[in-house]
Structure 1
Amino acid sequence: MGIIEMKQQLVEAARSLHQRGFVVGSAGNLSVLLDDGTFLATPTGSSFGELTELSVSHFTKEGTLLGGKAPTKEVPFHLACYESHPEARAVVHLHSTYATLLASCDHLVDGQPFVPFTPYFVMKVSKVGILPYRKPGSPLIAADILAKPHNWTYLMQNHGLIVCGSSLREAVFSAEEFEESAKLWYLGRNLPIRHLTEEQMRELRGL
């Protein structure tokens, strides 16, 4: 797919996420890896709801700006995601309400931040890596991701969600599924939920 089509997809994905309340203000960022090895990303300080194809950042791995506005300050951890996952072609970072609430809970450990109770969470969200709290924009976030290459989904403590995907569509769908699952977890935390068994989860993962 060419750069023009990918810019269109990025703008459409950003607007859709904004319209449905997954982001507010200038929070969150998206990126995609192009076939020529360069990248597209949402610009620094931009709103998903106001993004245009002309403003989308186009840059090299080394940081040379090829077009559009300057990219998000979170580019280092996006690049770390691509380095850790050679199959990845997109990264979605959201401060969505329930995922961020979950990320702010104490005693989270790698794997499953809560025991799954819907098959869709198991099928669409890979095992979750928990990253320590860092100041937004910190280069240490990239190092944290590189230290956990087996995770395609990450919760940054007190910050938000990062999802890697083999396409922008897949990454967005996984991020949406995570947010909806975190919402169900919160709403049902005092209910007698029937959780999936380990055997059922293995079946869903095709193990």
Structure 2
Amino acid sequence: MSESRLRDQICEMARSLYGRGLTHGSTGNISARTDDGGLLVSPTGTSFGRLDPARLARFDAAGKHVSGDKPTKEMPLHSAFYDTRGTAGAVVHLHSCHSVALSLLEEPGEDFLPPLTPYSVMQLGRVTLLPYFMPGDAAMGDAVRGLAGKRSAVMLANHGPVVAGKDVEAACNAIEELEATAQLALMTRGMGPRGLTGGQVTQLVKTFDLEWDA
């Protein structure tokens, strides 16, 4: 994909997320790999609803900021995914309401999301709930690096989800699935919902060659 088209796609997908209330105000950030190994990153303090393709921060393959506006303060978080997951072509971070709400009710650890539907298992694998970090804290990146590339999605407690995907569309689709599953978990909390059985999860993992038990 040309860089011009990638810039447009980042802004189009961000506007879609914003328009449907999946992030608000100037919250959230998004990045994507360019064909030359660099990065395009949403600027700090910008709204997903009003991103300008020409003003996206541009990094070269060595990680140097070469053009565009100042990038999001969550760059350590994005860099950690790219450095530990060779398949990562895009990273999205939102402040989506239901996933944040669920994070307030759970303790940090594995399996933040229950396996309620096959699609959350297929698009996300297991999701780790990380502890609270102050926004912009480089320790968030350290926590992701500590997972050694074994997770494509994490939830930052009291903050929001972060998902890496093979490209912008895949990452956005997956983070929407995370928010929808969090909403289902909240809607059925305490009601004894019938989730997927261990055998059903195992079948999905084997059929679609998913990351799950790593």
In the other structure, the counterpart of 1:90 is 90
* 1:63-85: CA deviation from partner (whole Å, max 9, x where unpaired): 53322211101111101100010
In the other structure, the counterpart of 1:198 is 198
Per-residue deviation at 1:61?
5.5
Written as runs of structure 1 = structure 2, the 5 A alignment for 1:1-207 is: 1-60=1-60, 63-110=63-110, 112-148=111-147, 149-206=149-206
Structure 2 counterpart of 1:104, one-letter code = L
Distance 2:62 2:71 in 1: 13
Structure 2 counterpart of 1:139, one-letter code = A
CA RMSD of aligned residues (A): 1.4
Moved over 4 A (4+): none
Structure 1 counterpart of 2:39, one-letter code = F
Distance 1:192 1:64 in 2: 50
* 1:158-178: CA deviation from partner (whole Å, max 9, x where unpaired): 111010111111110000001
Q: Could you tell me whether the CA contact under 8 Å between 1:61 and 1:79 is conserved in 2?
A: no
Distance 1:192 1:100 in 2: 21
Structure 2 counterpart of 1:194, one-letter code = R
In the other structure, the counterpart of 2:211 is none
SS of the aligned residue for 1:206 comes to helix
Distance 2:197 2:143 in 1: 30
Distance 2:96 2:2 in 1: 30
Q: Percent identity?
A: 36
Per-residue deviation at 1:43?
0.4
SS of the aligned residue for 2:77 comes to helix
SS of the aligned residue for 2:87 comes to coil
Structure 1 residues 120-129 or 86-95, which shifts more?
Answer: 120-129
Number of equivalences: 206
Q: Which blocks of at least 5 consecutive residues in structure 2 are unaligned? A: 208-214
Structure 1 residues 1-10 or 65-74, which shifts more?
Answer: 65-74
In the other structure, the counterpart of 2:210 is none
Structure 2 counterpart of 1:168, one-letter code = V
